[in-house]
Amino acid sequence: MLRTYNLAMEYIDLFTLQNNIKELVSTNMPSGIWLVAEIRSLQTRSGHCYLELSQSDDNAQEIARLRAIIWRSRYQLISSYFRANTGSELSEGMQILVRVDVNYSELYGFSLIINEIKPEYSLGEQESKRTKNIELLNADGLMQRQKSLTLSLLPRTIALISSASAAGLRDFIQHINESVYSSSLQFELFEAVMQGKECPSSVVDAINRVEEATTKFDLIFILRGGGSKLDLAAFDDYEMCKRIAQSQIPVVTAVGHDQDYHICDMIAYDYCKTPTALADYVLSMYYAQEERLYQLQSRLHQACMAKIAVEEEKLNRLLSSVKFAFILKLNKEAEKLNMLQARLKNICLSRINLMLSKLDLYEHKIHSADPRQIIQRGYILALDASGKVLKSSKSLEKGDSVTLLFDKAKIDCIIQNIEENGQ
């Protein structure tokens, strides 16, 4: 309600302002908007899920933030569906794609009501980050840095970076203790958080503590058990992998399941599929040295090796002949394939350029027909009371309301008189 004060100043009360904003939001905002954002915080109360969504720029500076809610009637379904497709719970730091309705309350302001989620987006976003981090590490020349280090033939002092309660750590220690070489090895645990947002910085801190320790370690093992793709996403973190690459001590990783392969595995000196395999990794070095001793003690083995060498030479000659013939054949087929590939590429490029030209033409037509372009050139757009564009005065009568849209303003008017221009 519009009121006056001292017959000179017009004002409205707060509720009226809030209600006007609410009406504008409900009138102009469509329902079912697909939105991309990061989960800044998440809490569940009374079966409802309360989130704070945010967005950051390329410099990791937050540029937007808004509250969101998943009502109890939808939360179980949404969270179960997300967990079934990703293996993870919704948690802070995740990038999500959700379908939302914009809500405005006179008491609580703006918020979003989440009605649906696309778990494949979160997986795809993580894969995109993973690819970008690999490119950055390659650009920094770090991917092969660990591989250039020299590994001790019989490492004795090994730093373990893991969670003290990790099942993978227990499996590792048990496997080591079952070996006859357990007494030859010295392990020291440097605890770290092995999942979630704190994992990368925690692992980096653990590596720093290893290198600052008074003990000179021969190896660093980073190990944890399996988990979902999103749970293990921390091991694709750029800063963590960069620190692994910069370590002066060879690092061997064992993270996740057999099918998992993370950037930390790529960048480390070596990697194993599981913590148990990691135990075998170091034990195999001792077994290898033991085998070499047995070979030196066995003179009979020399005769076998000589015979094998002769047969290998014959086989190598045969393989060389076959290989040469195969390479000639392969080169011919490769030449044909290159010619075909070049032709296909030229055809595709021509087709793409044609489609791009058409797209530019359509875009120009759409842009030229945009009413906002007309208004920006100094014209005025007139709307009737229902918000439709007025093209003639035939439907108007005295007393009707019209709205005039300028480039940066809107004026609501009441018709006092209509004069025809005789045309």
**What is the average pLDDT across 279-287?**
88
**What is the average pLDDT across 339-344?**
87
Task: Please give the single-letter amino acid code of residue 293.
Answer: L
Return the pLDDT at 2. Answer: 52
Return the pLDDT at 7. Answer: 53
Q: What proportion of the chain, given as a percentage, has pLDDT over 70?
A: 91
> Dihedral (C-alpha) 16, 18, 19, 20: value to the nearest 10 degrees?
80
134 versus 243: which is more confidently predicted? 243
- Least Cα distance to 137 among 266, 252, 249 occurs for 266
Beta bridge partners of 222: 161, 253
pTM above 0.75, yes or no: no
Taking only the tens place, the pLDDT of each residue in 257-276 is: 555 678 888 888 998 888 88
Residues 99 and 43: beta-carbon distance below 8 Å? no
Answer yes or no: is pLDDT of 250 > 90.
yes
Return the pLDDT at 256. Answer: 66
Tracing tokens 């650009």 back to the chain, one arrives at 139
Taking only the tens place, the pLDDT of each residue in 159-195 is: 999 988 887 888 888 988 888 888 888 999 999 888 7
Mean pLDDT is lowest, of 270-279, 349-358, 363-372, for 363-372
27-36, 130-139, 265-274 — most confident range: 265-274
Residues 108 and 250: beta-carbon distance below 8 Å? no
Sign for the pseudo-dihedral over CA of 308, 310, 311, 315 = positive
Return the pLDDT at 35. Answer: 84
For 224, the 3-state DSSP assignment is strand
Return the pLDDT at 252. Answer: 92
Answer yes or no: is pLDDT of 210 > 90.
yes
Tracing tokens 């893991």 back to the chain, one arrives at 162
Answer yes or no: is pLDDT of 8 > 70.
no
Return the pLDDT at 123. Answer: 64
Q: For residue 27, give both structure tokens.
A: 């009138």
- Least Cα distance to 242 among 206, 194, 196, 200 occurs for 200
- Least Cα distance to 149 among 270, 273, 272, 279 occurs for 270
Q: For residue 14, give both structure tokens.
A: 């707060």
Answer yes or no: is pLDDT of 379 > 80.
no
Return the pLDDT at 183. Answer: 84
Please report the beta strands in 46-105, taking only residues with DSSP state E, as ranges in sequence order.
48-56, 62-70, 95-105
Return the pLDDT at 83. Answer: 76
Tell me the pLDDT band of 337, cut-offs 50, 70 and 90.
Answer: confident
308 versus 393: which is more confidently predicted? 308
Task: Please give the single-letter amino acid code of residue 190.
Answer: F
Return the pLDDT at 204. Answer: 92
Task: Please give the C-alpha separations between residue 158 and each of 132, 252, 377, 401, in angstroms, as whole numbers.
Answer: 32, 10, 73, 83
Answer yes or no: is pLDDT of 14 > 60.
yes
Tally of CB atoms within 10 A around 91: 13
Mean pLDDT is lowest, of 84-88, 348-352, 412-416, for 84-88
